């Protein structure tokens, strides 16, 4: 993958766990893609194009099917940022399930705790993991048979506590990213690509 600054590799596999985007990856020039005109001047570069997100989400769906097919599960979506990834992931799982000998019966719910048997939690981004650990502790009180966590992004933070989701799409540097339903003060949810916001964008949409 060639980025803005040359031909250095953007990402590498991490043993089947997720795509690792290196700290020195320069990203893609915004001029190479279409995006909403009202965000012109607010973004630095495209970190992950929409097409790559779609392809990676499809692979995550396949991994989930292989691991937990033949189960009735509740897909628990963490609002608001997780809804786009959740919708696309569920659609991929449904498509795979239709054409497979294995079948996953899914009910989609949003973080509203009650009695769950098998749970797949879908999140947009995991940073330190502290919030997810609190959520998992709350859900474990209901003694589900199985809990799995799928996150589109895992951020490399300066204070990692060792938490990793069961499934994740991309491991990214500690950057402020927006798009694909990840917002900055409710803006940028309509941006299909995952991009890095610039200082002008932060100032423009600061509350």
Q: Is residue 2 part of a domain?
A: no
Q: Is residue 1 part of a domain?
A: no
- Placement of tokens 């989609």 in the chain: 108
Ranked by mean pLDDT, which of 41-55, 70-84, 179-193 comes out on top?
Answer: 41-55
Query: What is the tens place of the pLDDT at every residue in 46-76?
Result: 999 999 999 999 999 999 988 887 888 889 8
Evaluate whether 96 touches 65 at the Cβ level (below 8 Å): yes
Domain range enclosing 48: 11-204
Residue 180 or residue 6, greater confidence: 180
Checking if the pLDDT of 163 tops 80, the result is no
How distant is the alpha carbon of residue 171 from its chain centre? 10
Angle at which helix 50-68 crosses helix 83-98, to 10 degrees, equals 60
Instruction: Give the residue among 147, 169, 143 at the shortest CA–CA distance from 57.
Output: 169
Q: Is residue 171 part of a domain?
A: yes
CA dist 25 to 15, 115, 173, 195, Å?
Answer: 20, 43, 9, 13
Q: Is residue 154 part of a domain?
A: yes
The pLDDT value recorded for residue 4 is: 53
CATH classification of the domain holding 61: 3.40.50.2020
Domains in the chain, number: 1
> Alpha-carbon distance 154 to 172, whole Å?
6
Query: Which percentage of the chain shows pLDDT scores above 70?
Result: 86
Q: Is residue 6 part of a domain?
A: no
Q: Is residue 144 part of a domain?
A: yes
Q: Is residue 74 part of a domain?
A: yes
The pLDDT value recorded for residue 2 is: 42
The pLDDT value recorded for residue 109 is: 82
């Amino acid at each position: 993958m060639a980025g803005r600054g040359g031909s250095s590799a953007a990402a590498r596999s991490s043993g089947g766990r997720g795509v690792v985007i290196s700290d020195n990856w320069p990203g893609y020039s915004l001029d190479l893609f279409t995006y909403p005109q009202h965000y012109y001047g607010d973004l630095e570069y495209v970190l992950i194009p929409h097409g790559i997100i779609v392809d990676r989400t499809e692979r995550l769906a396949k991994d989930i099917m292989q691991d937990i097919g033949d189960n009735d599960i509740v897909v628990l979506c963490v609002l608001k940022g997780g809804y786009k990834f959740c919708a696309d992931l569920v659609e991929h799982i449904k498509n795979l399930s239709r054409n497979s000998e294995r079948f996953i019966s899914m009910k989609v719910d949003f973080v509203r705790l009650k009695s769950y048997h098998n749970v797949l939690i879908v999140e947009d981004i995991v940073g330190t993991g502290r919030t997810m650990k609190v959520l998992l502790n709350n859900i474990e009180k209901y003694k589900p048979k199985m809990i799995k966590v799928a996150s589109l992004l895992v951020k490399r933070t300066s204070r990692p506590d060792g938490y990793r989701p069961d499934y994740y799409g991309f491991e990214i540097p500690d950057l402020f990213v927006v798009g694909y339903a990840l917002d900055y003060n409710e803006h940028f949810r309509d941006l299909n690509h995952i991009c890095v916001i610039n200082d002008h964008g932060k100032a423009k949409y600061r509350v």
